[in-house]
Each structure stands twice: as structure tokens, then as C-alpha cells.
Structure 1
Amino acid sequence: MTTRKHLDANAIIIMLLLCICWGLQQVAVKLATPVISAGLQLGLRSEIAAMLVLALIWWKKIPFSLRDRHLLPGLIAGLFFALEFLCVSYGLNFTTASHMSVFLYTAPIFTVIGLHLLIPSERLHARQWLGVASAFGGIAIAFSGAMQNSADDIRQMLIGDSLGVLAALLWAATTLTIRFSSLADAEPTTTLFYQLAGAAVILTGVVLLRGEVWHAWTAVAWVSMLFQSVIVAFASYLAWFWLMRHYLVSRLSVFSFLTPLFGVAAGVLLMHDVISSRFAIGALMVLGGIVLVNFKKN
């Protein structure tokens, strides 16, 4: 197994750029939903990005085979990845982009708990457990923010927020699958292709079964799909898997605590999302918990 390093300046800069892209992701999906459903968007972007990955593999002559040792873990990672974004796509029908950004990016908490249980060198200490408790308390308070709405709005938001947390669990499962399988040492393009292919097949299949169609695309829809396909699903994920190959996964995961901040800010500025006081307090507790988890003893 490749020895992984602590974060250096290059890794921090790349992670900041990734956090900005990922923070804008839910808003990009939500902006285009009037003309193309969230599920169809995520299925199409996965197909486009998968083709871009195959083109990169061919151009760079990167070794790749569907018959090697990466097939089984690749299929498992692809399944988790697809289910994650299935939850996101349907969750955005019920909750805001700001809420989805916060709940989806609780994934680092679930990831570090998994790493704690499985890797002796990544054990959590008292301060990290305090962070975990803060994050879970924040999730509960953020959920309670929906209680300030009408009965129908409460039901809608709780469904969407719950799907956001479930998506976070699936993201953590994907990360752990990669970390504890042959994909940990695979080319980033191999890991990314399996995930994108899984999402393309499953999401597109669900969309077809539901009979979802798209209307005449607007300029916003085209820009959203370009951003989601080329920037997020292709470039940013490729960079993420490269980082996972060279740096400690727990440090990378918890560093992404900035992503919900960018996501909430984008939701408020671009979608005019309303942030309740309870949700704001809960979100701050979640972010504070992730920050605490990030402080590990050397």
C-alpha cells in the first residue's frame, strides 16, 4: 500500500478549489430543475464525465481493463456512488440546496468513524470524539429547524434532509470501499470511471422507469450541465481521487468542512434560501464538530 502524507500547501490549495466547486454543486442542480429533473441531470452528467474519463485514458495510454482485480470493488464503489446521488437528486425535490449542502457534507464524520474502527493509526482521541458528538447534536438541531414550518413543509423538509444524511452515509461507504480495496492503489481514472459508470447506469435507469423528460433547455440549464459534467464530475473528482492516493484520507475528508459554507452561501445568494435560526445553529455545530475532528495528535 502507498504511504500517505499529511496535507501540504499543494493539497490545501486543491482542496479549497474542490470545496468551492462542490459547494456550488447542489445550487447548480437546483437552478436547472425547472427544465430538467435532478435525477436526469445527475445521470447525464455522469455519462458525459465517464466518456471524458475514457477519452483521457485513451489519450494518456493509462492502463485500464474491466477484467483486472479492480472490477469487484469498482462495481461496489459505483453502486454506493450511484445511490448517494440518487438520494441527492430526490432529496433536492423536498429540501433546499443549502440544507442538502450541510447534510451531505456530514460524510467526513461517518468516514472518520469508519477509519477509527478499521485503522489503528487513524484512531480518534477525546477531542475528536467531542467533535463527533457536536456534529451529531448539530444534525439533530438542524433537523428540528423544520418544526418552525407548516405541517406539510415539515414533512417535505424532513424527507429531503433525511435523504441528505443518507447520501452522506453512502459517500462515506464509497470512501471506505476505495480505501480498503485494490482501488486504493489504482489509477484515479480507474476509480472515477467505475463510480461515474455506476451512477450513469443506475440513475439513467431510474429516470427512464419514471418516464422523466426534459423541456427546452435554457442558458442556465446548459451552463449548469457544463459545470456539473466537466468541472465537478470529471475534473474535481479526478483531483479528489488523486489526493486520496497520496494523502491521509481522514485529513482530506475533514478538511472539506468548508464545502457546506460555500454551499449555504451560494444557496442564499443564488437561490434566496431562507435559513432558520435552528438550522444555522445546527449547521455551525456540525462544522465545529468537523473542525474538532480535524485536530489529530501527531
Structure 2
Amino acid sequence: MTKPTHIVKSYIDIIVIAPPCDTMERKTQMDRFGAVALTLFALNLAFNQVVIKVTAGGFEPIFGAGVRSLGGMLVLLLWMSWRDVGIALPRAAVLGATISGLLFAFEFMCLFTALDLTTVSRTSIIFYSMPVWLALLAHKLLPGERLSGLRVIGLILAMLGVILAVLDRSSGEVSLFGDLLALGAALSWAGIALCVRLTPFSEVPAEQQLIWQLIVSAPLLLLAATIFGGYAREIELIHIAGMLFQIFAVASFGFLIWFALMKIYPASSVASFSFLSPVFAVILGWLILDEKIGVQIWLALGLVASGIFLINRR
């Protein structure tokens, strides 16, 4: 039986010891380590939603998103230099990198502001509906990605869940503008995935995909902060700790781990774990932030999570 300490060590070795993502051995099916690692990653992303909301008490949302991108960019540049991974892109991939970076900036401008306006539970249910919008776009634009069977059922369930979440008015902080921003973030996320699939940007290593999203988004978000919201509120130690968590555990090494797992395991198996993130986020919002969650939100969560699972099922 695999010991928990061995699982954690292997999870860390993906980033610290293993060779670059593109040289890792592929596996044909999910194993215990992959399942645990992906569950931990989903929990990490869910906890990050709580951290973003708490950090907004010290940093204005858009400025906070910009600082996160800037910090993640610097950490990732140091890591790539240490691992001798270059950042130069082929000319054919520049347009895809630019579009991806612009969407990345808009995604997190929307997400950070949404979490400042409304609850983690509502934002997460809407934000993690991304596979719904990606499936709809892929149905029209990507060969072999037609909607049929269980995927159509999953799509309907998830969309009903999003509608229920938006219509709920019993869960404390409620903001229609916040809901729309969360939806904008989800659509931007789907746009990034589609951009990577449709352009030569898909042919560059995962580390380069991430670093260029950060390089493009950091200055745009910091500039947007000067126009839309300012910089700081009342910064305390907890807000600085939250920002460091976002930089190291999500924006740099967190996504590197996810990219590495995508290189090791079948994409459909990795994607099927995405339904856990909104589940964890709603539970953490309830436990940590004492958010009020009515029956309608729990029902919406169940519909969205079930729909995401079916959409990604092969």
C-alpha cells in the first residue's frame, strides 16, 4: 500500500526533481498517485478562491491579480532558468501567446472582482462551469469534439446549475454584477483553452505557455488597477501571506504541477477531476468564511459538478 508520505514526495518530485514536462513517461490510465495528486490540486484551487477573497481585504482586487501575475512570472522565470528552459517563442506561436495572455488578464480581472463582490460559493459554481462553455465552443470549432450522449446531458445539468446559482437570493452577499464577472472569467478560461488548441501556441512547452500568459497579463492588470480600482486597502500580515500563497502555490508551481500531470495521464482522466474544485470551494467557503449556503446553492452545486463530470467523461 502506498504511504501518504510517498504520495506527497512524488507530488513534489514532479516539479523539483523530474525532467521538463515534455519528457515525462505517459500512462494509459489513472493510478492512485494521479488520483490523489489531482484531488489535492482541486483542493488547492478551491482554497485559492477563499484566499483571493481574504486577500482582497488588503489589496484592491485588480491590483492583487496583477501582483499575483507579476510574482508568479518572476518565480517561474527563476525556475525556468534553473531548469534551462528557454522563454523564446517560435514566430508562429506569438499571436496565440498574445491572445492567450489577453484572455488570462481579463479572466483574473473578472474573477478577483467577482470574489470581492459576492460569495466564494456563488462565484465558484459559475466560474467552474468553464467546461460547459468550452464544450459548446469545441462542438463548433474542434473536429472530434462533437456533443453527444452523456455530454449533452452533462451540459444541460451544468447549465441548469448555473441558472439556479444566479437566481438564488438567499446566500448572503448577492451581486448580479459579480455573477456576470464570474461568468466572464469562465468564458475567458474557455477561450484560453480553445486558443491553445487552435493555434501553434499548443506546440510550445507547457512552461512557456504559462510564462507568456503571466508576462502579458501582469502589466495589463497593473495598468488596469490604476484606472479601475487603486492599489491597497488596509494591508495586514494575513493579506501578504495570502498573496504569497497565490504566487507560489497557484500562479507558478501549482499550474506547473497541473501541466505535468496533463503530460503524464490521459487528458480526459485529468479533466474528470475538475468537478471537485467547485465542490471543495463551496464547502471551504462555508467552513472558513461562514458563508450562508441555502438549499438552492447546494442543488446548483450538485448539478454543475455532475454536469462537469459527464462532459469530461469518455
User: Taking structure 1 as the reference length, what is the TM-score of the superposition?
Assistant: 0.88
Q: Cα gap change, 1:259/1:149 in structure 2, threshold over 3 Å: closer, same or farther?
A: closer
Superposition map of 1:1-298 within 5 A: 7-9=29-31, 10-66=33-89, 68-146=91-169, 148=170, 156-210=174-228, 212-215=230-233, 217-245=235-263, 247-296=265-314
Per-residue deviation at 1:247?
A: 4.9
Distance in 1 (alpha carbons) for counterparts of 2:83 and 2:288: 38
The 3-state SS of whatever aligns with 1:76 is helix
Paired residues of 2:72 and 2:251 also in contact (CA < 8 A): yes
Runs in 1 of length 4+ with deviation above 6 angstroms? Answer: none
Partner in structure 1 of residue 17 of structure 2: none
**Number of residue pairs aligned between Structure 1 and Structure 2:** 290
Distance in 2 (alpha carbons) for counterparts of 1:204 and 1:25: 20
CA offsets, 1:124-182, max 9 Å, x none? 32111011001111111111112x489xx6xx522111211121111011011112222
Paired residues of 2:274 and 2:309 also in contact (CA < 8 A): no
Paired residues of 1:47 and 1:197 also in contact (CA < 8 A): yes
Relative to structure 2, which stretch is displaced further, 113-122 or 23-32? 113-122
Distance in 2 (alpha carbons) for counterparts of 1:133 and 1:284: 13
Distance in 1 (alpha carbons) for counterparts of 2:265 and 2:132: 18
Paired residues of 2:66 and 2:221 also in contact (CA < 8 A): yes
Relative to structure 2, which stretch is displaced further, 230-239 or 213-222? 213-222
Gaps of 5+ in 2: 1-21
Distance in 2 (alpha carbons) for counterparts of 1:208 and 1:17: 36
Per-residue deviation at 1:268?
A: 0.8
CA offsets, 1:252-296, max 9 Å, x none? 334211001111111111111111222221121111111222332
Distance in 2 (alpha carbons) for counterparts of 1:211 and 1:124: 41
Per-residue deviation at 1:243?
A: 3.8
Per-residue deviation at 1:249?
A: 4.2
| Amino acid in the other structure paired with 2:68 | R
Q: Percent identity?
A: 29
Distance in 2 (alpha carbons) for counterparts of 1:37 and 1:269: 24
Per-residue deviation at 1:5?
A: 6.7
Per-residue deviation at 1:121?
A: 3.5
Gaps of 5+ in 1: none
